[in-house]
Structure 1
Amino acid sequence: MRLLALNNSYAQLPERFFAHTDPKPVSEPRLIRFNRPLAEELGLDADQLTSPDGLDMLSGHRFPEGLQAIALAYAGHQFGNFVPQLGDGRALLLGEVVDVNDIRRDIQLKGSGPTRFSRNGDGRAAVGPVLREYVVSEAMAALGIPTTRALAAVLTGDPVYREVRLPGAVLTRVAASHIRIGTFQYFAARHDTGGLKILADYAIERHFPQLVGQARPYRALLEAVVAAQADLVARWMLVGFIHGVMNTDNMTISGETIDYGPCAFVDAYDPSAVFSSIDRVGRYAYANQPHVATWNLARFAETLLPLMSTDESEAVSQAEEVLGSFQSSYETVLQRGFRRKLGLLTEAEGDLQLAADFLDVLARSEADFTLAFRRLGDDLAAPDDQGGARQLFEDPGAFDIWSARWRQRIASDAADTAARRAVMHAVNPKFIPRNHRIEAMIQAALGGDFTPFEEILRVISRPFDEQPEMERYADPPRPCLL
């Protein structure tokens, strides 16, 4: 089985980069779900991985001979406060495969037990967070947003104790790598310039091989990571996604979305919406995400200063110049995306204000973000005052004023209605993993019923398609009746 002979290039780095960790036995591994299409993409044998021996490995119960799992060391700013040592407290990197597209990807267990970095935690995961990450990460992939992926979810047969007793589970996660901004911060905090250089060279070779041999490779590394994160966060904003915990240890240099803890997609549009109970000041609110990304990238730039130049003022000047490119890169992706979401097939002065004004109308009526954009495409052939989008607004008059401007603008594009609708429906999803559906799915799973989990996965795998039999999954949560 190919997975039993994984390469692990990260384990070839010096031992201070990680901690070797033995498997922790569990009582009764039982498969919840295995992602066969992803396994095929990775070039893995699904039948072997779902065999008893495969489940032993995917649950962290027993590893095959020769597999040496590691927990990675990293630090991080958590809600703005620096913690010099975090690390994989409940995750183990099994190794890497080169997929069918010749891309190297990590395979990691999450929730497999304590490691050297657990900080007195049990290292386990409850079934709810495992299923949430499985669903949301696969939804993001279907939406075309760079993300870690879910290969498998396995019940352990053992309880975990949080506020209450819960079933334990393990997620098998796939990523381009698990190198985070916090990984660089770990070595910077120790003034370990040698470790920083080893890590940066490894990151360049793995993620940005085109930079090898450049005259200023570490500046180029910063430029590449800034560009990747600008693209990623803009894509989040275009679908109304709120990460929830944008700590520096939750931002990868590869530009993939990672660590789906308290996260969600916006229902009623509110720029100040947060999805973390401990984010009391809105640090990671929806509208703050590009600003937080810039702040996090500045922390990344600080770690690279000793590598960029021996002259500190020169290094700082270079870093500031590169960081200054984030906003323009971000706005380029965001502006292009909003034009497509509104069906604007050419560029014209006033387009960006038109998009901003639509978001303002959405916010004032607390209209549903996803449905409003989707229904605009549906309403292209409808009279101004009879479309489904209008029905979402508490103040339809404000929508009518905006809609008249929008219809006047699209009339200037030389495109027929069908073509414009196709463009809009290709970027405006009908289905997202709405939080109330995920919570209902988790409650069913806690009772042993995984039918809603399977159903929501089928729906979100085709987010842009009409699925009449699954129409209820497009509905926002019902307002509370007092």
Structure 2
Amino acid sequence: MDHVQPKPEANAAVASIPFDNSYARLPAHFHAAADPSPVSEPWLIKFNRPLAQELGLDADTLERDGAQIFSGNSVPEGAEPLGMAYAGHQFGQFVPLLGDGRAILLGEVIDRNGVRRDIQLKGAGKTPYSRRGDGRAALGPVLREYIVSEAMHALGIPATRALAAVVTGEPVYRERVLPGAVFTRVAASHIRVGTFQFLAARGDTEGVKTLADYVIDRHYPGLHDRQRPYLALLEAVAERQASLIARWLCVGFIHGVMNTDNCAISGETIDFGPCAFLDDYDPAKVFSSIDQGGRYAYASQPAIGQWNMARLAETLLPLLDPEPSEAVNLANDVIAGYGARFQNHWLDGMKAKIGLTDEEDGDLELVQGLLTLMKDGQADFTLTFRRLAGVAENDATEPAFAATFRDPAAIAPWLAEWRTRLSREAGTPQERARKMRLVNPAVIPRNHRIEQAIRAAEDDGDFSLFEALLTVLSKPYEDQPGFAAYAAPPQPQEEVLRTFCGT
């Protein structure tokens, strides 16, 4: 099998990673030492060489020794493996201690752009926070996270990145026996709303302040100069979350489990568990098998983002003002403004998708009118907007656009209104269509394609579908004739109705 990696030669150079582990230098109760547990027969499925080079790493050595390093069998010099402590609201219920149950932070590096980034193993064994878990990951969730995190990056949406994936040669036991794997991901950091909640729940105000100062230094430099730096921090995190979730909605992404422990302070998309992308547009769509009540449905995500920011605000109250009532007022102002922040980002994104740049009264209604028709007509989210770019350039493509709707004739009145609105915009049809194609992807990580890649890998050891999917998703805004089938929605028998977390 061409993915099998040779064992390192006896005299081979040991991979060097220039770690600088600032989180490990924070107070001891913020984390716990957690060495990876060795596995029997690791081999490297995939190594992200461009990302390794971006991080300033020795890509040649890492690729050669990747099976040992990215399985946790060989811990590079300078690493300080640890599990991070955090709490979290899981489906609205507060759990005061969660922590990295199957993730181990190897350390941090400064990339070629001067940005500090975490390197973390997922599935490398038990940590002090594993509770009754085995600390392992199955191959399917590892492939899903690799595919979707790299796809999100290619779409231009802030997200954790995939550095490597390794099969362990050992089984893991879930509903059935599955091949084990380890995923290596990279993030601006893995600090979450739940990290603040862990300290606040213990009455550790000094710890909250230490963490807030660390976050400002690492992610929001300059806020220390503000009159109220911790209020400025809350505002900055809320702004990034509002922008992030608006971007999710503009590509039809459903995170699936937006608990506070899965909400990154950096503003990145994190923890790709039961995530999925819309096929036909339905604002109430839920894929996650564990979301029985629809708490994290597609259209519920903006409100959940606001709810999560309210939980962060609660942890920061002692730092906002010495007078409790004033601290609450300051926090409430930020949370109350979250809706407007999100709406502005979302409407700007949706207007760009339909070719609008100027601002006019009625633009929101025009967008909402199309979404209503898409819902009623069971139109595919991605195809509808991509084909609309074609209509903007050439009226002859209108039949292909209308065909995405159950009743093609129903879209005609909206198209007439849209064309009237476009007539007041500057630019040629060709320029407008080009800009629309830059924000309307031709391909997304379709759920059925991900499942096909996982099945082939789990059942037959065939990673060709996984590789093909990564290739096409690396250029999501381009029409790729050789991969045209990947733009198509699933046939009825191919539809994926439920996705799973993998823990």
**TM-score, with normalisation over the residues of structure 2?**
0.93
What residue in structure 2 maps to residue 77 of structure 1? Answer: 89
Residue 360 of structure 2, aligned match among 348, 365, 385 = 348
Does residue 19 of structure 1 match 2:13? no
What displacement does 1:65 show?
A: 4.2
1:372-387 aligned within 5 A: 372-383=384-395, 386-387=398-399
What residue in structure 1 maps to residue 492 of structure 2? Answer: 479
1:119-134 aligned within 5 A: 119-134=131-146
Answer whether contact 2:151 2:473 (CA < 8 A) is retained: yes
Residue 412 of structure 2, aligned match among 400, 409, 424 = 400
Mapped to 1, the partners of 2:208 and 2:326 lie a distance apart of 19
What residue in structure 1 maps to residue 176 of structure 2? Answer: 164
What displacement does 1:385 show?
A: 8.2
Mapped to 1, the partners of 2:24 and 2:314 lie a distance apart of 26
Mapped to 2, the partners of 1:327 and 1:261 lie a distance apart of 26
Does residue 36 of structure 1 match 2:49? yes
Residue 425 of structure 2, aligned match among 392, 407, 413 = 413
What displacement does 1:57 show?
A: 2.0
Residue 461 of structure 1, aligned match among 450, 474, 492 = 474
What residue in structure 2 maps to residue 230 of structure 1? Answer: 242
What residue in structure 2 maps to residue 136 of structure 1? Answer: 148
Answer whether contact 2:438 2:477 (CA < 8 A) is retained: yes
- List per-residue Cα deviations over 1:203-246 (Å, max 9, x = no partner): 11111111123221110110110001000000001111000000
- List per-residue Cα deviations over 1:23-64 (Å, max 9, x = no partner): 211011101000011111111111111223x43221111313
What displacement does 1:414 show?
A: 2.3
The unaligned stretches of length 5 or more in structure 2 are: 1-13, 495-503
- List per-residue Cα deviations over 1:342-369 (Å, max 9, x = no partner): 0113222211110000000000011100
Mapped to 1, the partners of 2:337 and 2:362 lie a distance apart of 23
What residue in structure 2 maps to residue 182 of structure 1? Answer: 194
CA RMSD of aligned residues (A): 1.3
What residue in structure 1 maps to residue 500 of structure 2? Answer: none
Mapped to 1, the partners of 2:147 and 2:131 lie a distance apart of 28
What displacement does 1:340 show?
A: 0.9
1:95-106 aligned within 5 A: 95-106=107-118
Answer whether contact 1:153 1:171 (CA < 8 A) is retained: yes
Answer whether contact 1:127 1:166 (CA < 8 A) is retained: yes
Answer whether contact 2:15 2:62 (CA < 8 A) is retained: no
Mapped to 1, the partners of 2:462 and 2:435 lie a distance apart of 38
1:472 partner amino acid: A
Residue 208 of structure 1, aligned match among 209, 212, 220 = 220
2:196 partner amino acid: F
- List per-residue Cα deviations over 1:349-398 (Å, max 9, x = no partner): 21111000000000001110000000001122443784311001112222
What displacement does 1:3 show?
A: 4.6
Does residue 90 of structure 1 match 2:102? yes
Answer whether contact 2:121 2:182 (CA < 8 A) is retained: yes
Mapped to 2, the partners of 1:387 and 1:428 lie a distance apart of 19
Does residue 284 of structure 1 match 2:296? yes
Mapped to 2, the partners of 1:145 and 1:276 lie a distance apart of 21
Answer whether contact 1:24 1:62 (CA < 8 A) is retained: no
Mapped to 2, the partners of 1:287 and 1:14 lie a distance apart of 39
What residue in structure 2 maps to residue 450 of structure 1? Answer: 463
Shifted more, 464-473 versus 207-216: the winner is 207-216
Residue 167 of structure 2, aligned match among 147, 155, 163 = 155
Identity %: 58
1:236-385 aligned within 5 A: 236-383=248-395
1:291 partner amino acid: A
Answer whether contact 2:18 2:78 (CA < 8 A) is retained: yes
What displacement does 1:293 show?
A: 0.5
SS at match of 2:403: helix
What displacement does 1:466 show?
A: 0.7
The unaligned stretches of length 5 or more in structure 1 are: none
What displacement does 1:303 show?
A: 0.2
Post-superposition, which runs of at least 4 consecutive aligned residues in structure 1 deviate over 6 A? none
Answer whether contact 1:76 1:247 (CA < 8 A) is retained: yes
Answer whether contact 2:16 2:76 (CA < 8 A) is retained: no
SS at match of 1:187: helix
Mapped to 1, the partners of 2:393 and 2:217 lie a distance apart of 51
Answer whether contact 1:384 1:400 (CA < 8 A) is retained: no
Mapped to 2, the partners of 1:3 and 1:355 lie a distance apart of 52
1:71 partner amino acid: G
Mapped to 1, the partners of 2:262 and 2:77 lie a distance apart of 32
SS at match of 1:388: helix
Answer whether contact 1:27 1:158 (CA < 8 A) is retained: yes
Answer whether contact 2:393 2:432 (CA < 8 A) is retained: no
- List per-residue Cα deviations over 1:107-159 (Å, max 9, x = no partner): 00011111000011000000100000000000000000000000000111111
Does residue 51 of structure 1 match 2:64? yes
Mapped to 1, the partners of 2:403 and 2:16 lie a distance apart of 52
SS at match of 2:399: coil
Shifted more, 154-163 versus 431-440: the winner is 154-163
Mapped to 2, the partners of 1:351 and 1:130 lie a distance apart of 41
What displacement does 1:417 show?
A: 1.1
Count of aligned positions = 480
1:24 partner amino acid: S
Mapped to 2, the partners of 1:313 and 1:452 lie a distance apart of 57
Residue 230 of structure 2, aligned match among 206, 218, 223 = 218
Mapped to 2, the partners of 1:62 and 1:442 lie a distance apart of 27
